[in-house]
Chains A and B, each alone.
Chain A
Amino acid sequence: MSTLLSPVVLFFALGLIAALLRSPMSVPQSFAKGLAIYLMMAIGLKGGVEMSKTAMDAQVFLVFGAATLLSFGLPFIAYAALRVTSGLSKMDAAATAGHYGSISIVTFVAAIEALRLAGVPSSGYLVAVAAIMETPAIISALWLAMRGGTSKSAEETAHDRGELAREVLLNASIVVLLGALIIGAVAGADGFERLSPFFVSPFQGVLCLFMLDMGLNAGRGLRRGWRKLGVAPIAFGLYMPLIGASIGALLSTLIGLPPGDMALLMVLSASASYIAVPAAMRLALPESDPSVYLTLSLGVTFPFNIALGIPLYIAVATMIAG
């Protein structure tokens, strides 16, 4: 209940309700982009500082392997679920499935804050895990969509491959997260101390501001897309995070992760991308309908994870590994 009533969730709810009521309120796009970079820098730096204090043992590399496997594998489960239960085309199902193998960095940030408030410690290297999980899902989605050939010309394919590689490997999330993680590890606790007035004290307030914008985005997406989607795809947006989180919990148990790290791996497995993957899909699969996957990832799964998923995953992780 305390998570549901935290300012972060309440500001998200405010944005969501305002958008559903057709409020003209908006957060300027470039400002919101700056806020997203700030949040990624802050968690990257904190994660890097934490990593500088601990040794990289075999368990860390097992988690990296599990994360890669999850990101590659979850789109196949999502694709099968969508093709069996919904009337989505092969192209739309593949593009949507890619979103569910990748991650939502804002959900991850909100989960770190929820863990901090609950007094459950987590490891800094999970930030690197988040970055690892951004990309493999895109490859799985493209493979699913392009089985049996593509209508692209050879010229277009060659051109898009370069563009796509740049988008997939050098998107803002990966560059900022991994860059800040390395800077944090190099700077260490002393170096980070000097930055703390900018990256620690204002963090909660900036997150609230960003969540207000996310609420507005989610509400507008939901308002535009829900009629088009129907019951089965919307239900998928609610049960797929639970499937992802369950597989994340299973792998975490096999590796022997502590509760905080297990909860974060569950959150990463449960969340769906709405920044990196949509851009890659517009580039590689332009025939797919963005109103399907953006509405599902941002309008259905993101609010579900923020309001109910995160407290649930923390409770389950604490129960299993606590």
Chain B
Amino acid sequence: MTDLNTKLRLELIIESPALRRAEDVLKESGATGWTVLPAMSGFGGTTRWSRGTDISESTDMVVLICIGDANVIKPALKRLHTMLDRRIGVLNVSDVRVLRPDLF
């Protein structure tokens, strides 16, 4: 079987206006790459939301995924957590196994 390496996977669901700030946090923490996906719709608290219903696009949500070593993800996690004190969003981290560790 191919060797697999354990890394941390950070997933952040956040409003699109805050995306650039979250990306800057990852960059400053030393992340070498991440991916942003559009979130289509969801439900939270008492509000159902869906993409494409706000012409300003200011309430559209995006999903930011970053895989990296603990020494990169953990400092980023702390700063992103502070950022979420004032914003709508969901942040989670999980262990994942990757095929090409040199890419992360």
Contact = CB atoms under 8 A, between A and B. Distances in A.
B53 A274 contact: no
Contact of A279 (B58, B83, B85): B58
Contact of A160 (B21, B53, B54, B88): B21
Contacts of B54: 217, 221, 278, 290, 294
A193 interface: no
Interface residues on B, range: 20 to 34
Contacts of B48: 224
A36 interface: yes
Interface in B50-83: 51-59, 82-83
Contacts of B20: 163
Interface residues of A, number: 35
| Highest count of chain A CB atoms <10 Å: which of B51, B56, B83, B86 | B56
B53 A282 contact: no
Given A151-B86, A152-B86, A286 B15 contact: yes
Given A159-B21, A275-B56, A286 B87 contact: yes
Contact of A282 (B17, B24, B83): B17
Interface of A: 26, 28-29, 32-33, 36, 151-153, 156, 159-160, 163, 167, 213-214, 217, 220-221, 224, 274-279, 281-283, 286-287, 290-291, 294, 298
Interface of B: 15, 17-18, 20-21, 24, 47-48, 51-59, 82-83, 85-88
